[in-house]
């Protein structure tokens, strides 16, 4: 099966500590991605974005001088941008848009806007979870990590999380734009404890940054200068908003989003040459690899240690950058892998909230 839709442009904004506004970073990302695609702002009639304001798509469209006929500002945290790919494909197939830009930008590091306590007063979590003083979201992921260690062995699970962190730093050494490189396993395990068993080295960065990808039809892509990357399949799944509402913490919604994406593409995990997997925390990667079917449950530590699957090849959220939501930059890196290496199929998977929402995208080279 083919979706008939390609990614024809991909780019980052400035990263790290930029001193720029979120709209400035969005503008950089969008204009750079369009330049990569050989298109102009005037060609864009679809826009998907969030995180700027209550009306993010409207805000960004006005800032860029766009009047799109299709928009999406679904907020699903780290999974949003993988969801946008599926939604954009559907819009293009239905003739609702012809050129869609998916973009994001955040200055959370410069603005010092990151908080550990974003519970909204009217939610059940504020009533039943906040009194215990958890750090949001790290304490929730720490509970999932504790269960993983209890189920599969403390030594094995801890070694797996350390392997994820070390692998991210090793890939980051090859990326001049990566924010942090780090040291080896001993130094990783000696880093300060944040929420047991997660240490600083298990947690994603807090940086500024952003990115954008441009989608259009396969037919139009043939006339553009950039190497097109086809959307082969996509899937999404939502489970629960809080850690107590998820159910089985070791079998996340990625089981369903991955199954849907692979079924649409007519592929299996064995066909994937590289994977960009949301690494908000090291435990997120282990859970996601298992849920997507790259290995059996409890076997992700062995898979990561073996190093047979190129994963988070930019350095990921642990070492490259993490501007609040990393999902669009997972797509950017997947496109770069397909354009610049021998990879034929790449996967990007976003996780949002407390293991709440999952988006899986499969991309492939068209030639």
> What is the set of active-site residues?
278, 320
Burial label for 268, CB within 10 Å (0-12, 13-18, 19+), is exposed
**Distance separating alpha carbons of residues 145 and 160, to the nearest angstrom:** 11
Look-up: residue for tokens 């929420």?
A: 195
Dist. CA 10–CA 288, nearest whole Å: 24
Question: How many whole angstroms separate alpha carbon 168 and alpha carbon 161?
Answer: 11
Token pair belonging to 293: 């079917």
β pairing state of 274-277 and 229-238: unpaired
Give yes or no for a contact between 247 and 240, defined as CB atoms under 8 angstroms apart.
Answer: yes
Q: Which residues have C-beta within 8 Å of that of residue 59, sequence separation ≥ 6?
A: 23, 52, 53
Q: Are 35 and 25 in contact (CB under 8 A)?
A: no
């Amino acid at each position: 099966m083919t979706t008939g839709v390609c990614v024809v442009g991909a780019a980052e904004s400035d990263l790290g500590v930029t001193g720029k506004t979120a709209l400035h970073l969005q503008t950089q990302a969008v204009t750079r991605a369009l330049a990569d695609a050989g298109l102009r702002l005037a060609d864009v009639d679809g826009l998907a974005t969030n995180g700027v304001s209550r009306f993010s798509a409207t805000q960004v469209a006005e800032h860029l001088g766009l009047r799109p006929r299709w928009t999406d500002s679904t907020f699903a945290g780290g999974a949003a941008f993988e969801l946008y790919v599926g939604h954009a494909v559907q819009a293009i197939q239905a003739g609702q848009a012809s050129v869609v830009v998916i973009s994001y930008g955040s200055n959370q590091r410069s603005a010092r806007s990151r908080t550990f306590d974003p519970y909204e007063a009217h939610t059940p979590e504020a009533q039943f979870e906040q009194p215990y003083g958890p750090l949001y979201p790290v304490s929730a992921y720490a509970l999932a990590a504790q269960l993983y260690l209890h189920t599969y062995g403390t030594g094995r699970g801890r070694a797996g999380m350390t392997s994820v962190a070390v692998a991210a730093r090793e890939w980051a050494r090859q990326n001049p734009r990566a924010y942090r490189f780090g040291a080896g396993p001993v130094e990783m395990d000696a880093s300060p404890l944040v929420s047991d068993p997660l240490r600083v080295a298990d947690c994603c960065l807090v940086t500024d940054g952003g990115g954008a990808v441009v989608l259009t039809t396969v037919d139009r892509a043939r006339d553009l200068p950039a190497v097109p990357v086809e959307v082969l399949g996509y899937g999404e799944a939502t489970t629960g908003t809080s850690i107590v509402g998820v159910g089985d913490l070791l079998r996340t919604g990625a089981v369903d989003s991955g199954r849907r994406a692979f079924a649409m593409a007519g592929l299996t995990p064995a066909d994937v040459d590289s994977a960009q997997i949301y690494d908000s925390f090291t435990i997120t990667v282990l859970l996601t690899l298992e849920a997507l079917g790259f290995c059996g449950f409890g076997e992700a530590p062995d898979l990561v240690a073996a190093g047979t699957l190129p994963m988070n090849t930019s350095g990921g959220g642990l070492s490259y950058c993490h501007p609040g939501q990393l999902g669009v930059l997972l797509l950017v890196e997947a496109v770069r892998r397909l354009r610049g290496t021998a990879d034929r199929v790449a996967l990007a998977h976003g996780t949002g909230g407390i293991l709440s929402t999952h988006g899986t995208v499969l991309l492939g080279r068209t030639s």
